[in-house]
Amino acid sequence: MMGYTSKTLILCAGLALAACTSPDRFEGQNGAGAGAGGGMGAGLSGSAQDPKSQAYFQQTIGDRVLFAVDQSTLSAEAEATLSGQANWLMSNPGYNAIIEGHADEQGTREYNLALGARRANAAQEYLISSGVASNRLRVVSYGKERPIEICSSESCYRQNRRAVTVLTARAGS
């Protein structure tokens, strides 16, 4: 006699259901990921000749500072850029800013998120110490999720280790 153990699997309704519906329930909603980090022209207004324009801030003042490997300390060059940003922000009260911290791909996802936060914070602290009201600034880290240069060598990595000051229109202005 064969003693069979009978186990009825409750194969979840979800499985049966999945067979009837498209596995991709979000088909058609797929944009690219939120366009963060590049300052790739999103929301860019005005010409770079207009000192009050976002384009002027990005291109002439410089919207980003770069960091050495694993570091979040500001170089003299970075401090000069941030001083320019602080002056611009103080004379253009219609804008707030989000400072995005980024890392190169040489590191784990989690560590790079924390490292990017350090970099964004270093830039934010410099802006605040230069006179920008702290309630006009927010920080966010993208870690290694949003490189602007995509090769796997130092020439790209150095561009990716950055803190980018992204202007946002101030509510009510």
Partner 1 sequence: MMRTMISLFVALTLWAIPVLAQDGGPLRIEITEGVIEPMPFAVPDFVADTAEAREVSRDLSRLVAADLGGTGLFREIPQDAHISRITSFQSPVQYADWRAVNAQALLTGAVSVDGSGRLVVQFRIHDVFAGQELGEGLQFVGTRAGWRRIAHKVADEVYSRITGEGGYFDSRVVFVAESGPKDQRAKRLAIMDYDGANVQYLTDSSSLVLAPRFSPTGDRVLYTSYETGFPRIYVLDVASVGRRTLPTLDGTMSFAPRFGPDGRMVVYSLTQGGNTDLYSMDIGNGQSTRLTSAPSIETAPSYSPDGRRIVFESDRSGTPQLYIMPSQGGEARRISFGQGRYGTPVWSPRGDLVAFTKQSGGRFHIGVMRTDGSEERLLTASFLDEGPTWAPNGRVIMFTRETQGAQGEARLYSVDISGRNLKQVETRGGASDPSWGPLQN
Binding site for partner 1 (CB under 8 A): 2-12, 14-16, 18-19, 23-26, 29-36, 38, 72, 98, 105-111, 113-115, 117-118, 120-122, 124-125, 138-142, 145-152
The angle formed by the CA atoms of residues 89, 93 and 95, to the nearest 5 degrees, is 75
Cβ closest to partner 1, residue 19 vs residue 76 = 19
Cβ closest to partner 1, residue 53 vs residue 165 = 165
Cβ closest to partner 1, residue 3 vs residue 172 = 3
Residue 106 CB, nearest approach to partner 1 (Å): 7
Residue 153 CB, nearest approach to partner 1 (Å): 9
| Structural contact between residues 83 and 131, judged by C-beta atoms closer than 8 angstroms | no
* Spatial strand order in the sheet of 162-169: 64-66, 162-169, 95-102, 137-143
CA 27 to the chain's CA centroid: 26
The angle formed by the CA atoms of residues 104, 169 and 58, to the nearest 5 degrees, is 45
> CB-side exposure of 152: number of CA atoms within 13 Å?
3
Residues facing residue 99 across a β-bridge: 139, 165
Residue 138 CB, nearest approach to partner 1 (Å): 7
| Structural contact between residues 149 and 155, judged by C-beta atoms closer than 8 angstroms | yes
Residue 85 CB, nearest approach to partner 1 (Å): 17
Residue 38 CB, nearest approach to partner 1 (Å): 7
Cβ closest to partner 1, residue 59 vs residue 106 = 106
Cβ closest to partner 1, residue 26 vs residue 76 = 26
Q: What is the largest CA-CA distance in the chain?
A: 92
